[in-house]
Amino acid sequence: MTTAALHKILPLSIAFAAACAAAGMDLPETDFWQGKIDAVASMGGGKVTVPAGRHVVGQLDLRSNVELHLEKDAVLEGMVGLEHYRIVPLPFSEGLVWSAIVMAVSQTNVAITGHGQIYGNGTAWPQPEVYGNHEGRRARGILFADCVGVRLEDFTLRDTACWGCVFKCCDGVTARRVTIDNHGNLNNDGFDIEARNVVIEDCDVDSGDDAFCLKSNNPDFSVENVIVRNCIGRSHCNAFKLGTASHGTMRNVRFENCRSAAPRRDFVDTRPSSPNFGKCCYTRGVRCGYPHGTGQAAIAIENVDGGVVEDVVFENIEAFGCRVPLFIRGGTRAGRPCGTPPGDKYVFRNIKVRHVRGEALFGLASSITGVDGCRVKDVLLEDIDVVCAGAGAEESAAAHSEPVPYIPGAYPDAVMFTHLLPAYGLYVDRVDGLSMDSVSFRLRRESNDCRRAVFLTGN
C-alpha cells in the first residue's frame, strides 16, 4: 500500500452529519482539523493549534514538520467505532492492523504538545470477550510508525480503547511531562516503545496494562539507546517492562530515578458474559485476574521469542504498589497469532539492577529464571532492600512440598508458576553469573514464613 493510500481521508458524509444533528450529537470535526494539518504541511510545516473546548474527531494523520498543539482545556475526543478510522496494516506487529486517534506513518519531525487532552472514549467501545482479543478492532490513542523525529510534551492521554501511545520502528523519540491515564478497556498500555534513540522523562502513567513497555516484534529493527528517567509507573500489570514481544533486539536500555506505585483507579468489567461483570477488577480472560489496587511487577525483563536482550540497567528505583519488585524471565514460547516467527538467537545477558527500595505483596517472591534454551547470563543485583509480606507458616511450608513447574513456553508474568515459590524474597533458576552485593529481602515484623529469603536451584 502506498503512502498516499495510507493517508487518504474519507470525507464526512452528508447523511452521517444529518444523523448526528438529529441525535443531538456533536458534529465530528475530523475533516476540519485534517484540512488544517494538510494545509500547514503543504507550506513546509508549522503549528496547528487546537483551542479550548471539546473537539470530536475520527482519525487525524500528522504530516512531516507539523506540530499539533493542544491548548489548555482543549479535548480531542475520539469517536467510537472503526468506521471513523483507517485500518493500517503494519508488518511485524501485534494485532496486525492498526488504527489510532492521532497517527503518523513514515513521517519526519512530528510533534504533539500543549496542556490539553486526547480522550479515547474507551469505555464506550466494546470490550473483547477474552483478554488480548480483537486488538486490531479497537483504536489506539496515538501511533507513530516508521517515523524519524517524534516529540511529545505536556499533554494528557486518557482512556483509549486499546493501547495508549505506540512508537513502532521509529528513530529519535522524545516524550516529556506527558500524562497517561488509561483504564478505559482491556489492553490499556501506557507507552509501547519499539524505537531507538529514545528519551522519556518526567512522565506519569497510570494504566490497566503495562505502563512503560519496550517491545521487539521486527527482527530487522533494533530497539536500542532507550532512556526512561524521572517517571512514575502505575499499573495493574507491569510498571517498567521489556517484552513480552522479543523477536528482535533490545539493547542499551536504561531506567533511572523511577517509581512504581499502585494504580489510582480500577477497570470495571462490562462484558455481560463475564463472571466478573460489574466488578472493579482488571480481568485477564479466564486465565487469571489482576486484583484492584495493585500491579504484577515493578520491573519486568523478558526474552521469550528468540531475540536478543542485553545491556539493561535499572537504577534508583522505588518499587511499590506491586506483587513483586523484580521479575526476569527467559523462555521459549513458539508461534503467535500475529504471525511473527520466533527468532533463533535467545541471547539474554548483562542486566544490572541497582539501588532499589521496594515491597512485595501477598507472599509472592521476585524471580530470575531462564530455561535450557534461553538461560539468563551475567546479572548484577546491588544495593537492594525489599520488605516482603510473607505467606504464613502453613502455606509457606507447603511451598517446599511441590516442585516448581518447568514451563519454558508459558506466557511470562510474575504469577506464572501457579503456586508459592520456595523463597519469600528471590527465586533463581537457570542463571549463569549472578552477582549480589548488599541485597536484603526481609520479612515484615508480623510475618511468619518458614521459607528462606533467597533460593538458588543450582541448575
List phi, psi (to 5°) of 405. -65, 140
pLDDT value at position 169? 96
Cis peptide before 174 (omega within 30 of 0): no
List phi, psi (to 5°) of 41. -65, -35
Helix, strand and coil in the chain, % to nearest 5: 10, 50, 40
Per the rule left: phi > 0, alpha: psi between -120 and 50, beta: everything else, 45 is left
Q: What is the pLDDT along the chain (459 residues), one digit of tens a residue?
A: 233 333 333 333 444 444 454 444 567 999 999 999 999 999 999 999 999 999 999 999 999 999 999 999 999 999 999 999 998 988 887 767 899 999 999 999 999 999 999 999 998 898 776 666 666 789 999 999 999 999 999 999 999 999 999 999 999 999 999 999 998 888 899 999 999 999 999 999 999 999 999 999 998 999 999 999 999 999 999 999 999 999 999 999 999 999 999 998 876 665 555 666 556 554 433 233 555 678 999 999 999 999 999 999 999 999 999 999 999 999 999 767 665 778 899 999 999 999 999 999 888 999 999 999 999 999 999 999 999 998 888 888 888 888 899 999 999 999 898 778 999 999 999 999 999 999 999 999 888 899 999 999 989
List the helix and strand counts (H, then E) for the chain: 4, 33
Residue 69's DSSP bridge partners are 49, 113
CB 243 within 8 A of CB 259: no
CB 213 within 8 A of CB 237: no
The structure's pTM equals: 0.91
Residue 53's DSSP bridge partners are 74
Q: What does 413-436 look like in DSSP terms, one character per residue?
A: -TTTTSS--SEEEEEEESEEEEEE
Cβ partners under 8 Å of residue 125, min gap 6: 80, 81, 138, 139, 161, 184, 185
pLDDT value at position 273? 59
| Domain with residues 27-456, CATH architecture | 3 Solenoid (2.160)
Strand (E) or helix (H) holding 311:
strand 308-319
List phi, psi (to 5°) of 446. -85, 0
Strand (E) or helix (H) holding 22:
helix 14-22
Q: Please give the DSSP secondary-structure letter assigned to residue 268.
A: B
Cβ partners under 8 Å of residue 394, min gap 6: none
Q: Would you kindly state where each structural domain of the chain is located, as residue ranges?
A: 27-456
Q: In 146-248, where do the E strands start and end?
A: 148-153, 156-158, 165-176, 179-182, 191-201, 204-207, 212-216, 222-229, 232-235, 238-246
As a whole number of Å, the end-to-end CA separation of the chain is 50
pLDDT value at position 7? 32
Cα 284 to chain center, whole Å? Answer: 15
Three cell numbers written together for 259: 517509581
